[in-house]
Amino acid sequence: MSGAIQKYSKPAIILHWLTGLLILGMFCLGWYMSDIPKDLPKVASLDLFDLGIYTKKFAAAITPRTFYFNLHKSFGLMVLVLVLVRVYVRFTQAHPPFIASMKAWEVKLADLVHKALYVLIVVMPLTGLVMAINSKYGVKLFGLPLISGLDNAGLRDVFKEAHETVGVALITLIGLHIASAIKHKAIDKDGVMERMSLK
């Protein structure tokens, strides 16, 4: 490797790591809440994620499933806003070119994966939002009613399926993205990872 490493801008780097961590957190939350039984009784307090670290108290009793689904929707809205900001930054700021040592097929694959990731990180929260709007519950932002539910079971099911399908595609590409980053860091040692570092 020769010459100085061309880095992404600080806003791009911060948004990359922040949205990445939030999206991975959303996957974990999604898997966790999908296993919560629907018939659990309402509670006035809840041991958050059953970790014994923090107990959440409610003004009015709700079911654990309702709490975690509302939490998922709230963070999903935050992800959507951050992703739209990230897309804006990506297309309004210059970004470094692929490093010269990369092979032609690597450049094509990396470019394709990056573009697909941008599409999926926008589509993922959008499908979740439309699904929530078409449910009977609507959308609350950390307890604050935001959008009333339309109670359209047919559309809700269509977007539920889309949300899950996009999720599988997104987590697959994220895995490929992480594996590629590890390869560049541990095997190629070509400075690709440093382009996304604040150091």
Residue 57 φ/ψ, nearest 5 degrees = -105, 140
Confidence of residue 6 (pLDDT cuts 50, 70, 90): confident
| Two tokens, residue 177 | 């993205």
What pLDDT digit, counting tens, does each position of 137-162 carry?
999 999 899 999 999 999 999 999 99
State pTM to two decimals.
0.89
Residue 1: the pLDDT is 40
- What is the DSSP secondary structure assignment for residue 49, as one 8-state letter? G
- The CA-CA-CA angle for residues 72, 78, 79, to 5°, reads 85
H helices present in 35-152, as ranges = 64-92, 104-133
Q: Is the pLDDT of residue 191 over 90?
A: no
Pick the residue with more confidence: 161 or 195? 161
Residue 3: the pLDDT is 53
| Two tokens, residue 189 | 């040692």
Task: Tell me how far apart the alpha carbons of residues 192 and 182 are, in angstroms, rounded to a whole number.
Answer: 10
Task: Tell me how far apart the alpha carbons of residues 130 and 154 are, in angstroms, rounded to a whole number.
Answer: 12
What pLDDT digit, counting tens, does each position of 11-62 carry?
999 999 999 999 999 999 999 999 999 999 999 999 999 999 999 999 999 9
- 117 touches 86 (CB < 8 A): no
Q: Is the pLDDT of residue 2 over 50?
A: no
What pLDDT digit, counting tens, does each position of 84-138 carry?
999 999 889 888 888 888 889 989 999 999 999 999 999 999 999 999 999 999 9
Residue 146: the pLDDT is 94
Q: Which DSSP helix (H) or strand (E) runs through 177?
A: helix 153-183
- 163 touches 141 (CB < 8 A): no
Task: Tell me how far apart the alpha carbons of residues 51 and 90 are, in angstroms, rounded to a whole number.
Answer: 38
Using CB atoms within 10 Å of the CB of residue 144, give its burial: 0 to 12 exposed, 13 to 18 middle, 19+ buried: exposed
Using CB atoms within 10 Å of the CB of residue 95, give its burial: 0 to 12 exposed, 13 to 18 middle, 19+ buried: middle
